[in-house]
Each structure stands twice: as C-alpha cells, then as structure tokens.
A and B are shown apart, each in its own frame.
Chain A
Amino acid sequence: MQAGTVRITGAGGDEIEAYLAHPLGTAPRGGVVVIHHMPGYDEATKEITRRLAGYGYAAICPNLYSREAPGASPDDAAATARAAGGVPDDRLVGDVDGAAEHLRGLPGSNGRVGVIGYCSGGRQAFLAATRLPLDAAVDCYGAFVVGHPPETFPLAVTPLLDQADRLSCPLLGLFGADDQYPSPAQTDELSAELTRLGKPHEFHTFDGAGHGFFAVDRPGYRPLAATEGWQKVRDFFHRHLDA
C-alpha cells in the first residue's frame, strides 16, 4: 500500500489537500471517496482511508477545510470551519467530484467510484450521491438527511429527503439504535421513501450502539457493531465497485 498527501482540484477549480491510499501495482480496482466527520481531516479518518486501501480500493479523503485552514491541525481547522459556518453543500459536492475524478484518473482504475461518510459526512455522502454519478454510497449515522438542524447553526444545513429521487447509486446506511441524530424513526422514514421511489438501499441499525460507533478513539466506540459494520461496508463495495 502507498499512502500520502496529494493535491487535487476541488470545487470551483480550487486546489485542495487530500489523503490518498491505494494498493501497490496497477491491477484493476474501484475507488472510494472518504468524507471526514465534522471534527475534521484527522488521524482516525486517514486510518479509515488506509483501511479501504487494505480492502483493495484506491481511497481518497479530501480535506474539506483546506480553504479555511490550510496546514492547520485538524481540531483547529474544524473549529475555524465551524466558526465560518461549516462546509457549504455545493462546495462539498464539487470537492467530492474532484476527488472522484482523481480516483478515475489513477492507473488501474476500473472507473467505478463509491463514497462513504461519517457523522456530518454521512449526510454529505447522501448529498453527493444525489448530485454526482456514483456507483455506491455509504451513510454512517448522518444526521439531517431527514429532519431539520437547530436554527442557531449559522449555515443552513437542510434536510435532503426531497432529493432522494435523484440518488444515483445503491445506498448502504449504518446506524445506531441509541442514536437520536439520526433517530431510528428518521432512518425508517428515509428507508420508506427510498422504497417508495424504487431506490436500492440496505439499512442496518445496530442495537447497543449510538452515534459514532465506528470511532475507535472516542467513548462511543462499539467494537461488535463496528466489526459487523465494516464487514457490511466491505461486502457492499465488493458488490458495487469491483469490476
């Protein structure tokens, strides 16, 4: 495996930082764009990116805070982005598009690209899949796909349920039964809408797990749910990204 920092072209033609990991050699393989959680482009997210390379994919995580805080430590960058109002949806889509194009241009790319996001990135993975031609999307406990965020948040993060008809690819949703953002009722509502629209999806809600159960460096980590969840991610990408 090779892994390291690269520069890619993001939204608006901006050059942004990204973390790229891929297997050695040029055997045909799919790609995965990793959307980091709100706390930023941190070590844990880079580890996720390397894990996906270990599964055989070229994986890339764009630093969504490249513009506000180039070179800053992840926690400072996340604080700066929060103070500035967060990441606008259109910019997120452009950055994911640029990351996907970078993957498609790598030697060995089979042209298939998926997206996976955690926490706020879960919502953004869903958003990207409604705006971009992708082959698979994984939403890990993304809040506000269904339901409105608090009014005090300075950026309008809007629900996406009314855009579900534009979903371009199969969706895997991984949620915690004890989570309230998104709540099981909200993920049920999303699942029902996707069923109504004929959009392929599979949702799994893990008992005994709340928000952030994949995060090994946080107290919400739930090893059983995370282990099973990772297996579902691997199976899902295998079905949709392998040539």
Chain B
Amino acid sequence: MCTYVTVKREVDGSGKGADGWFPVTDTCVYVDHPTHAPYAHTLNIDFLNPAAGPAARVAVELTEESALALVEAIHAALAAAPAGLASRDQRV
C-alpha cells in the first residue's frame, strides 16, 4: 500500500548526500514502499534541505525492528553523554 503517512519535523544538523555535505533542515519519517530495501514496506527517513533542492537528501529505509533499535541507540548514546553536550545551545 501507499500509506501516505508522513511525519515531518524540522531539525538542525548536517548530512552527507550524493554531492557532499549539506545542512539538514527537515526530516520526513514514513512507513511506505522502499526504493531499494528488499521489503514491501519499510520505515523510511529522508533528511532534507528543501532550499538546496531535491538532491540534498540522505535517505534510509529500515525494517521496523531496525528502526526501533535505532531509536533505542539514539536514546542510549544521548544518555551516555552529559546532558546538553550536543544541544543547539551548547557552549562552543
């Protein structure tokens, strides 16, 4: 199915796409058909910079289990570092 489900968030960081690094400003998270992963449906994340054009995109297509493991890993990594270390308000 085409789920049409799209969860969007504004984000702040960088990603490396086909043309090199670029500032990431937006993400789209959705469960739908993958382009490459060998499954009918996957959890897909697009890291985007719409102002820089369609090619400013880092895409991942993960199984449900992989996506949940990634969520857990993100929480674990942040918990292992001092609070605020990677915050947008961090001291440089």
State A211–B1 Cα separation when bound (angstroms). 6
Chain A stretch 154-178: residues in CB contact (< 8 A) with chain B: 154, 157
Given A143-B2, A179-B1, check contact A219 B38 (CB 8 Å): yes
- Chain A contact residues: over half helix, strand or loop, or mixed? loop
Q: Chain A contacts of B4 at CB under 8 A?
A: 86, 120, 144, 149-150, 153, 157
Contacting pair A153 B5 (CB below 8 A): yes
By secondary structure, the B interface counts as loop
* Cβ contact of A210, chosen from B5, B7, B39, B40, cutoff 8 A: B40
- A79's contact among B5, B7, B39, B59, by CB below 8 Å, is which? B59
| CB-based contact B53/A181 at 8 Å | no
Q: Is A73 an interface residue (CB 8 A)?
A: yes
Of B28, B32, B54, B57, which is in contact with the most chain A CB atoms at under 10 Å from its CB? B54
* Number of chain A residues close to chain B: CB under 8 A: 35
A80: chain B residues at CB < 8 Å are 48, 50, 54, 57
Q: Which residues of B contact A69 (CB under 8 A)?
A: 53-54
B35 interface residue per 8 A CB criterion: yes
| Cβ-defined contact, A83 with B26, below 8 A | yes
Instruction: Let me know if A219 and B39 touch, CB within 8 A.
Output: yes
Task: Assess the A181–B28 pair: CB atoms within 8 A.
Answer: no
User: Known: A75-B59, A76-B57, A220-B40. Contact between A83 and B48, CB under 8 A?
Assistant: yes
- Assess whether B54 is in contact with A68, with CB atoms less than 8 Å apart: yes
Do the beta carbons of B54 and A153 come within 8 Å of each other? no
Count of interface residues, chain B, beta-carbon cutoff 8 Å: 25
Q: How far is the CA of A144 from the CA of B55 in the complex (A)?
A: 30
Q: Once the chains are docked, how many angstroms separate the CA of A82 from the CA of B30?
A: 10
Once A80-B50, A212-B40 are accepted as A-B contacts, the answer to whether A218 and B5 lie under 8 Å apart by CB is no
Task: Name the contact of B32 in the complex, choosing from A38, A76, A179, A219 (C-beta under 8 A).
Answer: A38
B56 to chain A, nearest CB (A): 9
Distance A149 CA – B48 CA, assembled complex (angstroms): 24
B3 at the interface (CB under 8 A from A): yes
**What CA separation (Å) do A227 and B12 show in the bound complex?**
48
Alpha-carbon distance A219/B5, docked complex (angstroms): 21
Q: In whole angstroms, what is the CA distance A69 to B54 when docked?
A: 6
CA distance in complex: A43, B40 (Å): 18
- Determine whether A60 belongs to the interface, using a CB cutoff of 8 Å to chain B: no
Question: 0/1 per residue, B27-53, Cβ < 8 Å to A?
Answer: 010101101001110000010101001
A3-21 near B? 1/0 per residue, CB < 8 Å: 0000000000000000000
Minimum-distance CB pairs A-B, first 10: A181-B1, A72-B54, A69-B54, A153-B4, A76-B54, A80-B54, A149-B4, A75-B35, A79-B46, A38-B2
A→B interface (CB under 8 Å)? 37-39, 68-69, 72-73, 75-77, 79-80, 82-84, 86, 119-120, 143-144, 149-150, 152-154, 157, 179-181, 210-212, 218-220
